[in-house]
Structure 1
Amino acid sequence: MDMFRPASTQDLHVLRGLETACFGRDAWGEEALRGELDGVPDTRYVLVAEQGDDVIGYASLLAMAETADVQRIAVHPQAWRRGVGRSLLSALLDEARRRGCGEALLEVRADNHGAIKLYEEFGFAPLARRPGYYDAGNVDAVVLRLEL
């Protein structure tokens, strides 16, 4: 990974591609992605990770008052296991702290054991479970919380 940079509306097409590659039927559409970008910098922080000329990942944070919500971390499957997701998460948490948030929340598929392990390494702990939240009601979401 070469660098992070702020995402822009010019990235919508590539962000949509990352969504599809990473989340399949749970992928966000262009409207949801545009909503994230439209909230920058007031309530949102959106980064892309680049390697050469390619965007290989992106992450989005919603930060309001005391709570930061990790909205999305997406890394292209060809770039998995290279620390991209870890670096994106670290950047989001740094931004949440910079904005004065006291906690960070996120939701993750209960069957995404690699992501859950990563979040636990950062100190996130289970807060709640949302039955049938993902995959047309077939997979639970686990809500995790980190005190900042």
Structure 2
Amino acid sequence: MNAVLKPETSLRPMQAADLDAVSRIEPTIYPYPWTRGNFKDSLNAGHRCWVYERDGEVIGYAVMMMVLDEAHLLNISIAAPWQGKGYGRSLLAHMMDVGRQHGALHMFLEVRPSNQAALKLYESMGFNEMAIRRGYYPAPNGREDAVLMGAAL
């Protein structure tokens, strides 16, 4: 019999000590990444910031802003080597739970139309397209639209 150790994963609130790890991941997965300052400002503003760890290593993170009974997912990311393995789905489900626990009735997010993997994930988790935000994201040839999506919590 072979013993296979299952990796230990955990979700926990982001701390200032996580900013370096998060800031190392962000530019490896986005052409226009958030800065360390963006994450620090989110922590200081009291946004719901979480990290996803695998065997003690930060492999993902999410930042959510609460406004009255709405949760707005500002950033949700999984490091490239761990994408496509269910960690993003798990992190999104967790953030939806966090939103519910803080009284949110709905969650909203923006996503690039070119990010087909994210669109499929969001749709599979109950998000629906609500609107298009024209020229929302920077892009190599100018600006890219954003799909505004929402889900009832």
- Specify the alignment match of 2:49 in structure 1: 46
- Specify the alignment match of 2:4 in structure 1: none
1:87 aligns with 2:90: yes
Query: Which deviates more from structure 2 when the two are superposed, residues 59-68 or residues 126-135?
Result: 126-135
User: Among 20, 33, 36, which residue is 1:13 paired with?
Assistant: 20
1:103-143 deviations in Å (ceiling 9; x for gaps) = 11000011101100110111111111122222333421100
**Partners in 2 of 1:2 and 1:67 — Cα distance?**
28
Q: Structure 1 segments of 4 or more deviating over 4 A?
A: none
1:36-55 deviations in Å (ceiling 9; x for gaps) = 11133xxx211111111311
Q: Which has the larger radius of gyration?
A: 2
Q: Which amino acid aligns with 2:50?
A: L
Deviation at 1:18, TM superposition (A): 1.5
Identical aligned pairs, as a percentage?
Answer: 33
1:133 aligns with 2:119: no
Please give the TM-score of this superposition, normalised by the length of structure 2: 0.89
- Specify the alignment match of 2:149 in structure 1: 144
List alignment gaps of at least 5 residues for structure 2: 1-7
- Specify the alignment match of 1:36 in structure 2: 42
**Partners in 2 of 1:18 and 1:145 — Cα distance?**
26
**Partners in 2 of 1:73 and 1:2 — Cα distance?**
17
- Specify the alignment match of 1:114 in structure 2: 117
**Number of residue pairs matched by the alignment:** 144
1:67-111 deviations in Å (ceiling 9; x for gaps) = 100111111000011111111111110011111111110000111
Q: Which amino acid aligns with 1:57?
A: G
Please give the TM-score of this superposition, normalised by the length of structure 1: 0.91
Q: Secondary structure at the match of 1:27?
A: coil
List alignment gaps of at least 5 residues for structure 1: none
User: Among 9, 12, 34, which residue is 1:2 paired with?
Assistant: 9
- Specify the alignment match of 2:127 in structure 1: 124
Q: Which amino acid aligns with 1:35?
A: D
**Partners in 1 of 2:28 and 2:87 — Cα distance?**
16
